[in-house]
């Protein structure tokens, strides 16, 4: 049985200061292993593989396996498709994005020692850890409720002057909800849309990314022990445009044709984290790795606005707009622990696996002027610890290599909120000689979740199928 996540409009649902919530914490905590085409084709299982630029973002000790300096760059095509279904209304929406998934430089210093400290390596570059490019399209016909029904519930007991300037106040100011007052002085609200009779349509588009610049230092001891550490500087760009429409189905609602709710959000920010790693090679064909990722401390800035446009039966329209909102805050994401193993058979076959532990309930929101006590309680209640498992295989028939991978990312949700786990399948190939290399990697991601347009006690869930494909090409030069 599918479980459900209550994605409550993702922004601006409570007072404007509360637009930042548990959804934001998860968005920036749930990262993927992307980077080079080799790592993508290998299923992201690069924690003990080493000598690949993406491995520096998983286990910085991987830089210790480099014996030549290297520059690489990875352009990537990202294609996503979301299929939605609600009460028999099916829709799909696509979004494409071309970007630089990874680029970097590794400098190797050979100390000419036969034992002990043999190499020191320095690396700097950027890997993409999150892609926010998606389109949503959901339609429905509702004969029992409206978004305004939910707004009535939110507004209950609140005077009009204290309503949320980004949602309920706009509806009140546009006569989509109106006030009544009971004898004890409690504010109550009515709406001509309370009992539904409307068609509903959501169009939402998100775009942006989370990239991380890493500065890494590593070393090799007797080609047995490899150590590494890095400082990461993530950069966040997230944008969302949201358009929600309700229309009178049978022209039975007095003085009402339709309304359109528009919302816009822009988030920019940056942060810092630290990584430490070790790889141990007891024999020539076996390597073990362990890595620690500190929390990522992000400083974020939100700019947001919303408006409701009402279209009347006589052809006129009235538009009510919010003020321009701006808020600065911090998010700390959970730490990670990663264990890895790599097995090499006769230098022709390499098998590798990573197990990553992360406790999503450790994420936190903070600000200098607001404690986020309720929001952080939601994080602790909704999220849980989980394991992400990545496996990969590579066959080397020099100068060619052929790769395949499979990864499973565990659900961050607790208490049956959502079956948020998903699978990633991948494949790739590569060409390498002593100076240049070219790799191609392709990955396919599938997940399924439920999406509520508003209060789940008032409306059925829309089923959302998420499909995405990444096609990456890495070109590199060794020197």
418 vs 326, residue with greater confidence: 326
Look at residues 404, 407, 410 and name the one whose alpha carbon lies nearest to residue 390.
407
CA distances to 81, 127, 227, 408, 430 from 39, rounded to whole Å, are 23, 11, 20, 15, 11
Over residues 289-294, mean pLDDT: 98
Beta strand ranges found along 67-185 (DSSP E): 70-86, 89-110, 117-131, 134-142, 178-181
Residue 9 has pLDDT above 60, yes or no: no
Whole-number pLDDT of residue 32: 86
pLDDT at residue number 287: 97
- What's the predicted TM-score (pTM) here? 0.90
- Interior angle at CA 208, CA 467 and CA 92, nearest 5: 30
Rounded to an integer, what distance in angstroms lies between the CA atom of residue 452 and that of residue 311? 25
CA distance 248 to 243: 17
Q: How far apart are CA 44 and CA 406, in angstroms?
A: 8
47 close to 289: Cβ distance less than 8 angstroms: yes
* 90-139 pLDDT tens trace: 999 999 999 999 999 999 999 999 899 999 999 999 999 999 999 999 99
Residue whose structure tokens are 């209060």: 455
User: What is the rounded CA–CA span in Å between residue 250 and residue 437?
Assistant: 64
The whole-number average pLDDT for the span 19-39 is 90
Least confident of 177-191, 259-273, 456-470: 177-191
Instruction: Give dist(CA 418, CA 415) in Å, integer.
Output: 8
Q: Which CATH architecture has domain 16-145+195-353+362-394+434-442+455-478?
A: Beta Barrel (2.40)
Residue whose C-alpha is closest to residue 445's, from 28, 130, 58, 36: 130
- Tell whether the model's pLDDT for residue 3 goes beyond 90: no
Which of 52, 35, 33, 34 has its CA nearest to residue 350?
Answer: 52
Residue ranges per domain, the chain? 16-145+195-353+362-394+434-442+455-478
Helical segments of 314-425, H only: 373-382
> Which pairs from 14-18 meet CB under 8 Å and 24+ separation?
14/164, 15/164, 16/164, 16/165, 16/166, 16/304, 16/325, 16/327, 17/327, 17/370, 18/374, 18/375
CA distance 72 to 437: 9
Q: How confident is the model at residue 6 (pLDDT cuts 50, 70, 90)?
A: very low
Sign of CA dihedral 89, 265, 372, 293: positive
Burial of 354 (0-12, 13-18, 19+ CB in 10 A): buried
Q: For the chain, how are helix, strand and coil distributed in percent, rounded to 5?
A: 10, 55, 30
Contact assessment for residue 224 and residue 119, using Cβ atoms and an 8 Å cutoff: no
Query: From residue 178, how far is each of 152, 161, 255, 320, 354 by CA, in Å?
Result: 9, 13, 14, 15, 57
Least confident segment among 72-81, 177-186, 198-207, 370-379: 177-186
pLDDT of residue 16: 34
Residues in the chain: 479
Q: Which of 329, 331, 336, 308 is nearest to 320 (CA)?
A: 308
Task: Output the average pLDDT for the chain.
Answer: 93
5 pLDDT higher than 80 = no
Q: 391-414 burial, b if ≥16 CB within 10 A, otherwise e?
A: bbbbebeeeebebbbbbebbbbbb
The CA-atom distances, in angstroms, between 316 and each of 148, 263, 310 are: 20, 22, 8
């Amino acid at each position: 049985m599918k479980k459900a996540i209550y994605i409550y409009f993702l922004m601006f649902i409570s007072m404007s200061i509360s637009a930042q919530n548990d959804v934001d914490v998860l968005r920036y905590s749930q990262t993927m292993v992307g980077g080079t085409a080799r790592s993508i084709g290998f299923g992201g299982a690069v924690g003990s593989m080493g000598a690949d630029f993406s491995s520096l973002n998983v286990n910085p000790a991987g830089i210790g396996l480099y014996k030549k300096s290297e520059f690489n760059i990875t352009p990537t095509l990202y294609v996503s498709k979301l299929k939605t279904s609600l009460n028999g209304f099916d829709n799909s929406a696509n979004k494409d994005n071309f970007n630089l998934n990874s680029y970097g430089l590794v400098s190797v210093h050979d100390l000419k020692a036969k034992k002990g400290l043999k190499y020191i390596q320095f690396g700097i570059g950027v890997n993409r850890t999150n892609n926010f490019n998606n389109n949503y399209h959901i339609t429905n016909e509702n004969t029992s409720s409206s978004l305004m029904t939910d707004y009535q519930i939110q507004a209950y007991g609140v005077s009009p002057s204290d309503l949320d300037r980004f949602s309920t106040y706009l509806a009140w100011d546009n006569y989509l909800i109106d006030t009544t007052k009971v004898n004890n002085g409690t504010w109550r609200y009515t709406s001509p849309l309370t009992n539904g009779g409307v068609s509903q349509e959501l169009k939402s588009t998100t775009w942006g990314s989370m990239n991380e610049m890493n500065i890494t230092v590593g070393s090799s001891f007797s080609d047995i022990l490899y150590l590494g550490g890095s400082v990461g500087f993530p950069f966040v760009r997230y944008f969302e445009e949201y358009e929600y429409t309700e229309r009178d189905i049978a022209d039975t609602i007095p003085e009402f044709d339709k309304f359109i709710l528009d919302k816009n959000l822009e988030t920019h920010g940056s942060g810092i984290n630290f990584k430490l790693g070790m790889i141990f090679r007891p024999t020539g064909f076996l390597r073990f790795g362990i890595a620690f990722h500190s929390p990522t401390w992000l400083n974020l800035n939100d700019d947001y606005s919303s408006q409701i446009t009402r279209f009347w039966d006589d052809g006129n329209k009235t538009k009510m707009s919010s003020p321009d909102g701006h808020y600065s805050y911090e998010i700390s994401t959970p730490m990670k622990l990663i264990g890895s193993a790599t097995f090499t058979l006769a230098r022709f076959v390499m098998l590798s696996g990573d197990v990553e532990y992360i406790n999503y309930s450790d994420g936190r929101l903070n600000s200098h002027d607001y404690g986020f006590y309720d929001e952080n309680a939601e994080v602790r209640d909704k999220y849980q610890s989980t394991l992400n498992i990545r496996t990969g295989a590579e066959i080397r028939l020099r100068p060619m290599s052929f790769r395949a991978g499979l990864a499973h990312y565990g659900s961050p949700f607790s208490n049956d909120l959502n079956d948020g786990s998903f699978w990633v399948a991948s494949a790739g190939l590569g060409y390498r000689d002593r100076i240049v290399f070219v790799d191609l990697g392709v990955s396919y991601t599938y997940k399924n979740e439920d999406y509520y347009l508003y209060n789940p006690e008032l409306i059925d869930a829309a089923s959302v199928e998420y499909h995405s494909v990444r096609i990456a090409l890495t070109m590199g030069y060794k020197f």
